[in-house]
A and B are shown apart, each in its own frame.
Chain A
Amino acid sequence: MPDRVNVLKTYKTYIDGAFPRTESGRHYKVYDREGNILANACQCSRKDVRRAVVAARGSFPGWSDRTAYNRGQILYRIAEMLETRKGQFTEELERTGYKAKRAVAEVESSIDRLIYYAGWSDKYQQVFGSINPVASSHFNFSLPEPTGVVTIWAPEEQPLLGLVSVIAPVITGGNSCVVLASETYPLSAISFAEVLNSSDVPAGVVNILTGSRTELLDPMTSHMDVNAFFYTNPDIEVQQQKQIDENGALNVKRIIRKPMEDWQDKEAKSPYFITDFQEIKTTWHPVGF
């Protein structure tokens, strides 16, 4: 007999700064690489997507109005919080079948990735904005501005680093997002939500769901209040690709695909990941008088 009864974590979703269960009441089993059951995860429904998009839309004006400097601070804060919980995340990755060394490397890279984007936060507008020469007495300048609500399919493999690599550039640019975690290894994503929740990220800026891609593809890509869809799958079926494109056309969403074999790769981080979710606004300002 053990001395005390195990207290196991219930993995729920993260919507609007809270951890509700899926409204559908459904769950699916999460296994490690050997086929042992690790936990139950929520199998979210289209209604969870709807709630999450409403939350993301509600948080968007406040988040995009923050100063770039403040957003950078908050990104940095997420990294700090993740650093203090390194042990938990390493252990969680190991339980899914990671070797110890690789697990540590993935957690550390995730922290570094957040720092990387925290640094870009108050720079990308300077680098990608421009003052344009025009043939009249106007100042003419162009600036990138956030596109709005972004739905994201996080990568299937590298459940933490992949997740951080897709969320960070989107929120650094002032967008809010609804993320569907890795279907096979969703646990790190929900633990990462706990980190977000203690990092001054306003409620609703990042919402994390777990469940089936096939089932949630339609609501995540067709929703008229979603401005961009971001996915990474290297192995997507032609039929799904077609449906994503058609749904995106309904309200001319940005459909961004970044098939990446390894998120440790040098190519897996870039300021262009930020500008993928920006709209360029050009202003004509009269000079003279």
Chain B
Amino acid sequence: MNIPDYSQSPPIDQVGVEERVARLNSRSIKKESKIKALEMALSMVDLTTLEGMDTAGKVIQLCQKAKRPHPYQPDLPTVAAVCVYPRLVSVAEKALRGTSIHVASVATAFPSGMAPLEVKLEETRQAIEDGADEVDMVISRGEFLEGNYNYVFDEIAAVKEIVGKAHLKVILETGELQTYGNIRKASDLAMHAGADFIKTSTGKVKPAATQPVTLVMLEAIRDYYYRTGHMVGMKPAGGIRKAKQAIQYLVLVNETLGGNWLHPDYFRFGASSLTNDLLLQIVKQKTGVYQSLDYFSND
């Protein structure tokens, strides 16, 4: 396969992107379609805890929530994956054994990516050994902004080699890439280097995921699919807290990539508090009564 010249990535029309997002956001999803969308969004959540204060206990609690999001709604889907730091992968793996829920680990010196390559590769290897079947890596934004695209490309390719059959999600940290043009370029680069998913943000930098950024990345995925026939997944992460936002993202995906991407294998939400809001809205739709966080678990 020919590796394209990244300086040839198409320029992005900022006003056009933002207006298209605004127009798609005005779509109204109600009643049965809303329940369907909410349950679909729930099945796409990567339930995430990435704090310096994380403990094994917290991860186990999170895995329980992943398996059974709501104690009195047994028919709800489980979430797609639980996402933790590498040293807690074995805990999550044990807690989720026997389920179809994936264990995702961030790696490569998350969130800054500022570590020597060997350290990053070793960290990735460790996470895979401990049982992670999805790895969320960060790119070296400094190198990217300096124009060392080859360095970034090689790094992703090296990590992909270690990850092997497991899924590799490449975090672009779009909040640090400055322009939509850079985001498009980084998306093209990551997909050609072997990413199974491209992901917006670490959640540690503001702004995190936004809808215009997501649309730019979705269009990159579409163009890549037209060129190669290979379906790459998308994961917006950070700042998605409300069910309403989640549904707006699903509309973006459906309108840009079509129904084939509306599946946890190709679309994920990186979020922690989103799950509770989805549950709140699902129960509201089913009972007709506005709900309170008093009756839902915190984590």
Binding site for B on A (CB under 8 A): 50, 53, 219, 222-225, 250-251
Contacts and interface: CB of A to CB of B under 8 A. Distances in A.
A251 B290 CA distance: 11
Nearest to B291: A224
B32 interface: no
B294 interface: yes
Chain A CB count within 10 A is highest, among B291, B292, B293, for: B292
B293 A250 contact: no
A53 B289 contact: no
Contact of B294 (A50, A53, A225, A250): A225
Nearest to B288: A222
A222 B291 CA distance: 9
A53 B291 CA distance: 11
B284 to A, nearest CB: 9
Interface string B21-56: 000000000000000000000000000000000000
B72 to A, nearest CB: 13
A140 to B, nearest CB: 27
Complex A-B, nearest 3 residue pairs according to Cβ-Cβ distance, in ascending order = A225-B292, A224-B292, A223-B290
B295 interface: yes
Given A224-B291, A224-B294, A225-B293, 18 more contacts: A50-B290, A53-B290, A219-B290, A222-B289, A222-B290, A223-B292, A224-B289, A224-B290, A224-B292, A224-B295, A225-B290, A225-B291, A225-B292, A225-B294, A250-B289, A251-B292, A251-B294, A251-B295
A251 B294 CA distance: 10
B6 to A, nearest CB: 45
B294 to A, nearest CB: 7
Grouping DSSP codes into helix (H, G, I), strand (E, B) and loop, the B interface class, with mixed when no group exceeds half, is loop
Contacts of A50: 290
Interface of B: 289-295
Contacts of A222: 289-290
A224 B292 CA distance: 5
Contacts of B289: 222-224, 250
Contacts of A250: 289
B271 to A, nearest CB: 19
B162 to A, nearest CB: 45
Nearest to A54: B290
Nearest to A49: B290
A219 B291 CA distance: 11
11 contacts: A50-B290, A53-B290, A219-B290, A222-B289, A224-B289, A224-B290, A224-B292, A224-B295, A225-B294, A251-B292, A251-B295
B290 to A, nearest CB: 4
Kindly name the residue among A53, A224, A251 whose own CB sees the greatest number of chain B CB atoms within 10 A: A224
Contacts of B290: 50, 53, 219, 222-225
A251 B291 CA distance: 10
Contacts of B291: 224-225
A250 B294 CA distance: 13
A267 B6 CA distance: 79
Nearest to A247: B289
A48 to B, nearest CB: 12
A225 B290 CA distance: 7
Nearest to A223: B290
A223 B290 CA distance: 5
A51 to B, nearest CB: 11
Contacts of A225: 290-294
B30 to A, nearest CB: 12
Contacts of A223: 289-290, 292
Contacts of B292: 223-225, 251
A64 to B, nearest CB: 15
Contacts of A219: 290
Nearest to B283: A224
Contacts of A53: 290
A213 B161 CA distance: 65
Contacts of B295: 224, 251
A226 B265 CA distance: 39
A11 B293 CA distance: 33
B255 to A, nearest CB: 25
B70 to A, nearest CB: 14
Contacts of B294: 224-225, 251
A223 B293 CA distance: 12
A15 to B, nearest CB: 15
B253 to A, nearest CB: 26
Contacts of A224: 289-292, 294-295
